[in-house]
Amino acid sequence: MSALAVLLGALALFALGYRFYSAYLAKRVYALDPDFVTPAHAYKDGIDYVPTNKHIVFAHHFISVAGAAPIVGPAIAVFWGWGPALLWVVLGTIFASGAHDFGAIVVSVRHKGKSIGALAKDVIGTRARILFLLIIFFLVTMVNAVFAVIITGLLIANPQAVLPVLVTIPLAIGVGQVVYRRRTAALVPSLISLLVVYACIPLGQAFPITVDPLANLLGADPALVWLVLIFVYTFFTSRLPVWLLLQPRDYINQQQMVVGLLVIMVGIIVGMNTIEAPAFRGDLPEGSPPIFPLLFITIACGAVSGFHSLVASGTTSKQLDKETDARYVGYLSSLGEGTLAVCSILACTAGIMVFSANEGTAWTDHYADWATAGTNPAGRFVEGVAGFASNIGIPEGVGLVFATVVVVSFAATSLDTAVRLQRYTIQEISSIVREKAADGGVLERSSRFLGRNITAATLVAVVIPFGLALIPGNFAAGTLWQLFGTTNQLTAGLALSVIAVWVTKQGRNPVAVLVPLVFLAVMTSWALLVQLRDFALSDDPMQRFVLAPLDLVIFGLAVWMMVEASVALRKAFAARRGAPDEVGQDRAAAEDASGSDGPA
């Protein structure tokens, strides 16, 4: 099968989805109002609530949600063949992710920029908020652990990429100063910065940076040293104002994403590569997991992802200048991530064969069994991109560094955003505990301290995933991916339940939200039960005594949350005909709140 034909077909469907389906959502389902006063204006503080140009918000949202997940998930899932993976990516992006991301931004904007956990309380009920926050806590913890391990593995395998990655940080801060202080457009400064980053690739090849000397001095493993450095870095960067590093780095990474996709696409056009993998793999090795339901949780980001709702309601909604920007930011970002997932599928089924030709490696060698498929999937994507790059004359060594810089930059941005979001979640949970234990005791005092002290909340947000990433046996990068994917899709389903109830209360048709909601609820519940069985029967004590109980807790929370959502949805349908128009109420509330001290 021609890789070019697959790519063009997917892009055509994405274009149709944005032109027609997102327009339908904007007009008929979410009813965007260009005059609505967004939280960015109502609570403008120069740190989190910052009215921002939609192109910059798009860059932040897109790069924050893209990360490494839409690369890693498809790179594993082609184990079952490229056909099922491609079908889920395309359909999931258009009909599930687009509605999910778009809706999460709109509902958050309509509720003072509140996070999805707080929205669950407003839209569904008080208990729903607690349940949702606990699920979010588990999800973001796993996101941070997995992404940190992925970054560590890539930097150890490709030390030539360390220098270009490090250079991005001061360049982004410089761009942030220029854009925010001088009120200039970010396009030219970000392009110049990106050129500087790529100019550092030859320097990185000449002077590769490793932490081996420091690791030898401390008597520690290099992976441990990298993990410490990564989490220390995220501790500080997640505390900075969004305009200083997060936004400008996102904008640089957006340009980098465009360059990366162009390299892949032009490489496919020039090389006219053929997909070497089977469309559907019928001869699965013994012991392989079933495609249903695991395909739909292995490919999380890139089809639909609950993490997106955390970004959409945690940071994106607080930067939206106009409510009508939500379509451009939310739906188009979903299509961008879907495009990246398609490119990951092609890189691991066509591009990697160009790279591996010199070694005589066949596709089946990379996917000999399920364990092999889950080993270093990000590395296979990097090799696939290097293969496509070689079609247009870029040396494989340069292509490897380039692709590594792209993946690490995306993953680091998502990690920064995730730690920031985890801090919000911890503070929200602390506020609930403080309310429930308002007796002046130790629990009340400690929760008050954690809820008000940003440093303490951020420290908790980095220490727990750091500990999870340290569990031996490649735990975080391998087996944990399955539980991460399931929890991620579960969170997407729960976010869709909040959106569905809100849309129903508005008196509009929620079918576009209900269909992906029901599908995800079934697949994630099924996957949690399958994994619970596998973890409980495993010979690995980590799976039996850590993952199995964690899986069971998450499943219990999921069932409880689904019951709460079902009850709220039934009540919304029952009261629908007699309910007042909440659009006007939401708008009036936001306008009245503009003179208040801040969001509730």
For 415-449, how does the pLDDT look when each residue is reduced to its tens digit (9 = 90+)? 888 898 899 889 888 888 887 776 667 777 788 88
d(CA 111, CA 117): 12
Averaged pLDDT, 549-570: 86
Please compute, for residue 315, the number of CA atoms within 13 A of its CA located in the half-sphere on the CB side.
31
The whole-model pTM stands at 0.88
> Is 92:363 a contact under the CB 8 Å cutoff?
no
Q: Within its chain, how far is the Cα of 498 from the centroid?
A: 19
Residues whose CB falls within 8 Å of the CB of residue 48, separated by 6 or more in sequence, listed in order: 241, 242, 315, 318
- Give me the amino acid identity at 448: R
Cα Rg, the chain, nearest whole Å:
23
For 297-321, how does the pLDDT look when each residue is reduced to its tens digit (9 = 90+)? 999 888 999 989 988 998 899 999 9
d(CA 302, CA 374): 17
> Is 311:114 a contact under the CB 8 Å cutoff?
no
For 358-414, how does the pLDDT look when each residue is reduced to its tens digit (9 = 90+)? 555 678 888 988 888 888 888 899 999 999 999 999 998 999 999 999 999 888 888
- Give me the amino acid identity at 460: V
Region of poorest pLDDT, from 99-108, 130-139, 214-223, 574-583: 574-583
d(CA 253, CA 574): 47
Whether the per-residue pLDDT at 161 is higher than 50: the answer is yes
Say whether 320 sits in a helix, a strand or coil.
strand
For 132-153, how does the pLDDT look when each residue is reduced to its tens digit (9 = 90+)? 888 889 888 988 988 898 899 8
Region of poorest pLDDT, from 87-91, 147-151, 193-197, 209-213: 147-151
Please compute, for residue 50, the number of CA atoms within 13 A of its CA located in the half-sphere on the CB side.
18
| Percent of the chain's residues with pLDDT above 90 | 49
For 509-528, how does the pLDDT look when each residue is reduced to its tens digit (9 = 90+)? 999 999 999 999 999 999 99
Burial 196-230, CB ≥16 within 10 A → b, else e: bbbebbeebbeeeeebeeebeeeeeebbebbbbeb
Whether the per-residue pLDDT at 473 is higher than 60: the answer is no
Looking at residue 476, what is its pLDDT?
Answer: 41
By CB atoms closer than 10 A (0-12, 13-18, 19+), residue 27 is exposed
Averaged pLDDT, 41-48: 87
Confidence of residue 479 (pLDDT cuts 50, 70, 90): low
Whether the per-residue pLDDT at 598 is higher than 70: the answer is no
Concatenate the DSSP letters of all residues of 572-595 into one string: HHHTTTT---HHHHHHHHHHHHTT
Whether the per-residue pLDDT at 475 is higher than 70: the answer is no
